[in-house]
Amino acid sequence: MIVRNHVIFDLSPVAMSVVAYVGGATALFAATIGLVQTDIKRVLAYSTVSQLGYMFLGCGIGAYTAAVFHVMTHAFFKALLFLSAGSVIHALSGEQDIRKMGGLSKKIPWTYRLFLIGTIAIAGLPPLAGFWSKDEIMGHAFVHHHFLLYGIAATGALLTSFYMFRLTYLTFYGASRMDHHTEEHVHESPMVMIGPLMALGLLSVVGGVMLGFPPEHGWLHQFLAPVVGAPGEHEASLGLMVLLMSGATAVALIGWGLAHYLYHVSPQTADGWAAKFSGAYAMLLNKYYVDELYDVIVVEPLKRLGNILDWFDRTVVDGVVRGVGHMADWGSAGSTWIEKHIVYAGLNVIGYGNHLAARQGRKMQSGMVHHYAALIVAGLFLLALVVQFIVQY
């Protein structure tokens, strides 16, 4: 969205700076958390958050093509890493804790090789895909004099290389830390799982060159030029470009070397550092206690608000509904009282009147023929008078 609407963002340097620094802070924040995580998928998850921060840093400094480029290369090697992690978990019958792995390079060689390709790619080592896109973001920051952001990006790249090679060493190298039952059943994944990893591995190796070489003038740059424009006047010279690429490579190699020493050559040193800086280690392991803060600041207040609203719903809202029902009951009771005491009384009066009329009327029915004959004659006489009256008037 930012890249597609970059014309709007370009009008506000403040907005661009906010995007860049939020992206840089995100990259460092998630990368530091990934340094000490012990779940193989959690390391990759925080790596994803960190790389997303990298992309937004690129957007914030105007490296729009480089940001989209990193989206694409990241899709290659991060999909490879996540699926390779799934292959590791499959091989270990569901185990995800890297402290209970080790020595898997010989037991699941295809998964190991493909995971290593993904690690080298995300670390930013040439000529794999991550190098080209990550170096382009860092180079753009340096050339356009965003030196603080360049330092943040370089630090993020160093941390990325370190925690990814740490993950690789703890998973595939060293002595086995698996329990006996799990180690007996370790097996390579079938080709139906390895095949897609090979395709992603190939893209992780050549995808950067296919999309972004030569730097600043690759196929992706030409494709996006109508949207983001061609490279500007601050394009780096060849000498500076080589120097920046060498610097990015050196940063990735330093991260690799540090991880190699701490988790392959001298693992006890890493344990000693964790014990020496136990407070910082615990903070990173617990993700800066963000979940706990979120629970205190958001979850618990919302729970209390929910309890209040629940009380309001049960007491006030339901009380109104029940009150309406009671009013209906009272109305029904009132109508029943009226029916019993007034309507029934009226009906009784009418019934009693009918009874009296019937008693008096039945006296006219004597059963004597001459009485009936007299009534008929009287009726005929009255009828004759009515007819004569009508004819006369």
Using one digit for the tens of pLDDT, what is the confidence trace for 86-112? 999 999 989 999 999 999 999 999 999
Predicted TM-score (pTM) of this structure: 0.77
Mean residue pLDDT across the chain: 88
What are the residue boundaries of the structural domains of the chain, listed by start?
A: 6-285, 296-384
For residue 106, the 8-state DSSP code is T
Task: Give the number of other Cβ atoms within 10 Å of residue 268's Cβ.
Answer: 8
pLDDT band at 340 (very low <50, low <70, confident <90, very high): low
| Sign of the CA dihedral running 17, 69, 27, 146 | negative
Long-range contacts of 39-43 (CB under 8 A, 24+ apart): 39/96, 39/97, 39/98, 40/85, 40/88, 40/89, 40/96, 40/97, 40/98, 40/101, 40/167, 40/171, 41/82, 41/85, 41/89, 41/96, 43/98, 43/163, 43/164, 43/167
Q: Is 39 helix (H, G, I), strand (E, B) or coil?
A: strand
- Give the tens place of pLDDT for each residue, 248-269: 999 999 999 999 999 999 999 9
Question: Which pair of tokens denotes residue 371?
Answer: 């009485």
- Give the tens place of pLDDT for each residue, 49-93: 999 999 999 999 999 999 999 999 999 999 999 999 999 999 998
